[in-house]
Structure 1
Amino acid sequence: MINTVAGTEACPECGATTASVREALPWCPRCEWRLDAYDPQRRQREFGWSWIDRWTYRVAFRATGRQFTQLVGRPLGTNGSGTARALTVAASLLLVAAVLALAVVGGWLVVAFPFPHLAIVPGVAMVGLAIALRPRFGRLDPELEVLTRDRAPELFGLIDEVATAIGAPVPDVVGVSDAINAYAGQVGLRRRKVLSLGLPMWGSLPAGARVALLGHELGHFVNGDPRRGLLTQPAFDMLASAADLFRPVQTVVGRGLLEMIGDALGRAFQWVVSRVLFVAHLLLVAVALRDSQRAEYLADELAARAAGTTAATDLLDTLLAAESMALAVRRETQAGHGPDRWRAALAESRAANPDRLPLLRQLSVRDEASLFAFHPPTGLRHRMLAARTWQEPAVVLTPGRMERIDAELARDYDRFRRTVTWAG
């Protein structure tokens, strides 16, 4: 539920009446006075210490705003920050080399001496550590319902048209899920391109927003996002895995004094190593994610190229109403209705509260600011599109074609309806 409060006080900067939504700290909608305020009641704790969380929020808010100012009105490109990318690649290669060295040295210790020998113990431990820290390039979600061209020719045809319009490759795998989400990514060493469409989101979107969603997700295959590159992805995962692996755990209970002292010293060593690795991971991610946010802006621009700016900004506004979408989908699904009623219910909800959208866009700039956010705040993404050259749609999804696509997914919609009914 969204609560709007207006007239709480006058802005000391411009005299306008402040406002609030979702019980947030009030701010001025006209000059955005106090929009940068830290709101502990609405933020998840990132570090656990309030003073650090407050400081990192302010750093993130300023960095996000500074990046927006630097990018607005300029070409977004696909290469991003050369320094950030070089640092990420170097870190990834260093981590992979370290893991390979662990495996080689450990393997040598196992086989270099006649069996049995004491060197086999550290050798096996080093090989096990190398296996635990190995780079992982993802795998196909086992819960993804994979579609084929024979089963959904209209949907695949639309994907082909959008890919051509933005100059992106078509995905190797297309599937649907029950999530209120959509994503595009690459899995495995072969970097198979995967597109997943969450049925609640896909079914709730009107025609133009569906094209925009495809344009944005397929845009991730060409926008230079460092999280998805073969040479950069390990940096995002391996340090975090190492920090978690070295996290101390209680292993000795009720033993002698020497055992307890040894256990305490071991856990202290693990704590120091774990924290050093964790801080290194945070620093690397904080640097690399600035480039990742630039890539998100570019994916939005590609969405506008495919669907037009109006549809692309409409999609962003729909993301701001994710809670309303979830409620509408669940209510209409439990009543036995399909995606046509989902769209109608969501449209009715938005039409009933037209004045709240601008406030939600502004609030997202505060709520979504983080050093570790993959996406820029939704409100800034909306502003970025609105400030760029207005684009007309290159791909138009007609009502008849949309009905045929939904008919192709009827079996999946029905499965989703049963899941919601059973869970409800």
Structure 2
Amino acid sequence: MINTTAGTDACPRCGASMVSVRDATPWCAGCEWDLDAYDRARRPREFGWTWVDRSTWRLAYRMTGRQFDRLVGRPLDGARSGAARVVTAVASVLLLAGVLALATTGVWLIVAFPFPNLSVVLGVALLGLAYALRPRFDRLNEDLEVLSRDRAPELFALVDEVAAAIGAPTPQIVGVDGDINAYTHLVGVRRRRVLCLGLPLWGSLPAQERVALLGHELGHFVNGDPRRALLVQPAFTMLGSAADLVRPVRTVSGGGILELAGLALAHTVQWVLSRLLFTAHLVLVCVALRDSQRAEYLADELAARVAGSAAATRMLDSLLAEESIALAVRRESRAGHGPDRWRAAVAESRAAAAARLPLLRQLSVRDEASLFASHPPSGLRRRLLEARPWHDPRVVLTDDRMARIDAQLAREYERVRRTVSWSA
């Protein structure tokens, strides 16, 4: 339950009453004074030290605000390059070159000297290290229930229509799962495009918001999102893998004093090297995620172009109501109801919270700021859409067509309904 309170204290900047929702530190809804307050009681621990978490949150808050200010009023399509993208790409190329150098050196040590030779052992070790640090190709999620065009022709037709409207390639794999989420991804060596729709979210959205959801997710195939680019994958994974490889693990106990001293020295060197690599990994990921947040803003713009700005902004408000969606879907599922009742229950919940939505949007700017956030705060995403030219829908999903889509997914809905109703 969300409680809204108006504080007795007045804002020192504009004199308006302070407000709070969800027991957050009060701020001014008019001028947003003290919205940048660090809310320790409500912040998840990221590093574990309060002073570090506070400092990194303040840095993330400022960086998020500056990025928003840079993007307001400028064409998002042209905002594809920047320092974050260049740094991420250069770092990835250097990391790939380092792995290739390890593999090349390992092969040379094996073939350049007659066998047996200690160089062969070193060469095999370098090849093993290069293999452990190699770029990984993501695999298809085991929970994804893959659909075929024959199984859900209406859904595939809608996906094709939305993809064509925003100039995106169609996904090669379309599936559903039981999460309140939706995502696109690239998997395997062939980089097959995957679209996943979480049925609790998909079934809870009105028709035009579903078009906006598809527009946003398919937009990730054309918005330059670094998380889906093969070249920059090493920036997200390689240094973290290296830190894990050199992390000290105690495998020997007992022994003489010299052995224990050598072991302690080795562990110290490994610990320092592991922390240095992990720190570099965190810095590189934080830089890369700045570009990822820019890509999210562009995906929202593409959603507005295909579904209309009104539907796109309402869809973003749905992200603020994830808890309400979960509660409504669980309640209706336990009563034996499907997506029609999910949608009606969620609509009732959103209508009841309409007066609090502006405050929740503002609070999201505080709550969702993080150096490790791949998405900008929901409130800023909506604010940016409102500041941009208004779009009429290019693709309109009628209620009849939505009903046909849901009818073709009836078996999948029923499976998710049973799973949700059994969950705690």
Once the two structures are TM-superposed, the CA of residue 67 in structure 1 deviates from its matched residue by 1.1
CA RMSD of aligned residues (A): 1.5
The equivalences for 1:13-412 within 5 A come to: 13-77=13-77, 80-412=80-412
Q: Which runs of 5+ in 2 are unaligned?
A: none
Letter in 2 for 1:187: V
Deviation at 1:131, TM superposition (A): 1.4
- Which one-letter code corresponds to 1:28 in the other structure? C
Displacement after TM superposition at 1:103 (Å): 2.0
Q: Contact conserved, 1:251 with 1:263, CA < 8 A, in 2? A: no
Q: 2:416 matched to which residue of 1?
A: 416
Superposed displacement of residue 190, structure 1: 2.0
Length-normalised TM-score, structure 2: 0.96
Asked whether the equivalents of residues 105 and 123 of structure 1 are also in contact (C-alpha less than 8 Å), the reply is yes
Given that 1:137 and 1:233 are in contact with CA atoms closer than 8 Å, whether structure 2 keeps it comes out as no
Compute the displacement of 1:234 (Å). Answer: 1.9
Cα offset for 1:212?
Answer: 0.3
Which deviates further from its counterpart, 113-122 or 144-153?
A: 113-122
Structure 1 unaligned spans of 5+: none
Distance in 1 separating the partners of 2:96 and 2:185:
21
Inter-partner Cα distance in structure 2 for 1:244 and 1:274: 7
Offset of residue 317 of structure 1: 0.4
- The letter for the 2-side match of 1:124 is V
Q: Deviations over 1:343-391 (max 9, x none)?
A: 1111111111221111110000001111221111100000000011111
Distance 1:17 1:246 in 2: 54
Distance 2:261 2:15 in 1: 64
SS at match of 2:5: strand
What letter matches 2:239 in structure 1?
Answer: L
Q: Provide the TM-score with structure 1 as the length reference.
A: 0.96
Deviations 1:377-415 (CA, angstroms, capped at 9, x unpaired):
100000000011111111111111001100111111111
User: Does the residue aligned with 2:163 lie in a helix, a strand or coil?
Assistant: helix
| Alpha carbons 1:149, 1:156 under 8 Å: kept | yes
User: Does structure 1 retain, via aligned residues, the 8 Å contact 2:206–2:343?
Assistant: yes
SS in 2 for 1:282: helix
* In structure 2, distance between residues paired with 1:340 and 1:174: 22
One-letter amino acid of the counterpart of residue 73, structure 2 = G
Question: 2-side partners of 1:422 and 1:406: how far apart?
Answer: 22
Q: What is the CA distance between 1:111 and its match in structure 2?
A: 4.3
Task: Check the 8 A contact 1:307/1:394 in 2, yes or no.
Answer: yes
- The equivalent residue for 2:7 is 7
Structure 2 letter corresponding to 1:339: P
How many residue pairs match? The answer is 424
In structure 1, how many angstroms separate the alpha carbons of the residues matched to 2:109 and 2:410?
59
